[in-house]
Amino acid sequence: MPDFITDAILLRKIEYGDHDYIISFLTESRGKISVIAKNAKKSIKRFSGALDLFSVSNIQCTFPKKNKNGLIILSGADLENGFVNIRYDVFNTAYASFWVELIHYWLEEDKVQSDLYDLLKFSLDALNEGNISKEVVSLLFQIRFMSISGFSPNIENCEICKKSLDHIEQKHIRFDFKEGRIICQNCVKIGSKYGMTISKGTLKQLFWINNNDISRADRIRFSKFAIKEGEMLLEAFIPFHIGRDFKSLQFLRRIRQER
Q: Which residues 6+ apart lie within 8 Å of 100 measured at CB?
A: 9, 10, 11, 12, 26, 53, 54, 120
> According to the model, what pLDDT value does residue 192 have?
58
| Domain residue ranges of the chain, discontinuous segments joined by + | 4-82, 87-258
Fold match, 4-82 / 87-258: no
Give the whole-number percent of the chain exceeding pLDDT 90: 60
Per-residue pLDDT for 6 more than 90? Answer: yes
Domain 87-258 has CATH 1.20.1440.120: yes
What number of residues does the chain have?
A: 259
Give the whole-number percent of the chain exceeding pLDDT 70: 95
Q: Average pLDDT, stretch 3-32?
A: 93
> According to the model, what pLDDT value does residue 203 have?
93
> According to the model, what pLDDT value does residue 26 have?
97
Partners of 78 in the beta sheet?
A: 58
Q: Average pLDDT, stretch 40-60?
A: 85
Q: How confident is the model at residue 9 (pLDDT cuts 50, 70, 90)?
A: very high
User: What is the pTM assigned to this prediction?
Assistant: 0.91
| Span 138-147, pLDDT tens digits | 999 999 999 9
CATH class, range 4-82: mainly beta
| Span 121-140, pLDDT tens digits | 999 999 999 999 999 999 99
Question: How, if at all, do strands 20-27 and 31-37 pair?
Answer: antiparallel
> According to the model, what pLDDT value does residue 159 have?
85
Per-residue pLDDT for 113 more than 70? Answer: yes
CB atoms within 10 A of CB 234: 19
| Span 57-110, pLDDT tens digits | 999 999 888 776 778 999 999 999 999 999 999 999 999 999 999 999 999 998
Per-residue pLDDT for 165 more than 80? Answer: yes
Give the C-alpha distances (Å, rounded to integers) separating 30 from 118, 180, 225. Answer: 13, 30, 39
Average model confidence (pLDDT) for the chain?
90
> According to the model, what pLDDT value does residue 190 have?
55
